[in-house]
Amino acid sequence: MNNEKKSLLGLTLSEMKQIAVACGMPAYIGGQMAQWIYQKHVKDINDMTNISKANREKLAEKYEIGCMPPIDAQHSKDGTIKYLFPVHNCQLTPQSDSTQQKFVETVFIPEAGGRATLCVSSQVGCKMNCLFCQTGKQGFEGSLSATDILNQIYSLPEVDELTNIVYMGQGEPMDNIDNVLRSTEILTASYGMAWSPKRITVSSVGIKGKLQRFLNESECHVAISLHSPIPEQRAQIMPAQRGMGIEDVVGLLRNYDFTHQRRLSFEYIMFGGFNDSNTHARAIVKLLHGLKCRVNLIRFHQIPDVPLHGSDEKRMEAFRDYLTAHGIFTTIRASRGQDIFAACGLLSTSRKISQIRNEEN
């Protein structure tokens, strides 16, 4: 891919119209470009056949679609597939090595009944540094552009099978709010991929100011990483608690209506002897009282050098039953892709990139 050319993938309709005019073409050609990219999924400007050859050549001098296929795929015994996507236009940190190609992991999760979910990444690594998450151990190298977020969907081999998208891969979406909002706009816009916001869920630990902006500017579902209802304990495993406490997060959420189509959920990884007691269950009921939401209990997947272990199945079921009995709809999320390190908290490109670079040398 010629990095000197700019990507069309990730641009809004108005931006494509501006490009058309700047190239000496009528503005309506920008609409044709958007249709070819977001609805017909072309991979090359030359495939936009209702645009004249001369105009396609003008476009191709400065622009390209910007899609890049995954370079690796790992298949789980349960049908989950973890893809490794190259990153084209990452907003790197000053400390990151700009000479090295960056990558992110994306997880395709097929389910019974024709449902298929894609877990996309929003950053290379993550700066939240949650104790229980392998991505945080990787460190933070930069935020993905809207091009790179959408490319995980656009260039997915199973793109036509997708029914749902979750921003629960590598990175904290609210820490990359501009590009996340741009990508969800394009996903849901009539000129874009025309997805219903009900098919998209964006997760967050809670970032002051940015979570509120997302709630105001997007209609997509919201998932909050809870993991402990006790502020002091949550701070032990989630440094973000010190920036925006869980009480502040819940207080903000109470200003929004989740009684209709938009859904609010709380993610809760269960650690044996740490956050799975009756005291924690009662604290969750108190914290979320009167809030229309659901709680998803998640099995902990062990990572190196972390002194936590998962709750057993009996304890998880008792925890679920207590919350349900007290008016909070609660489920135990099925664990998928653990054998290929694709399950919750296990995404990290470090191991795979080291392998690839060793093979190149």
Query: Looking at the annotation, which residues are catalytic?
Result: 105, 344
State the pairing for strand pair 81-86/72-75.
antiparallel
Q: Which of 201, 177, 106, 94 is nearest to 141 (CA)?
A: 94
Cβ-contact 300, 132 below 8 angstroms? yes
Close Cβ partners of 136 (under 8 Å, ≥ 6 residues apart) = 125, 126, 127, 128, 129, 130
Provide the 10 A C-beta neighbour count for residue 147.
25
Residue 299 tokens read as: 């099995």
Residue 141 tokens read as: 């190298």
- Tell me, what DSSP letter sits at residue 127? S
How crowded is the C-beta side of 28, counted as CA atoms within 13 Å? 2
Cβ-contact 114, 159 below 8 angstroms? no
The DSSP string of 178-192 is HHHHHHHHHHHSTTT
Cα-Cα-Cα-Cα dihedral sign, residues 24, 30, 35, 41:
positive
Cβ-contact 345, 301 below 8 angstroms? yes
State the pairing for strand pair 81-86/103-110.
antiparallel
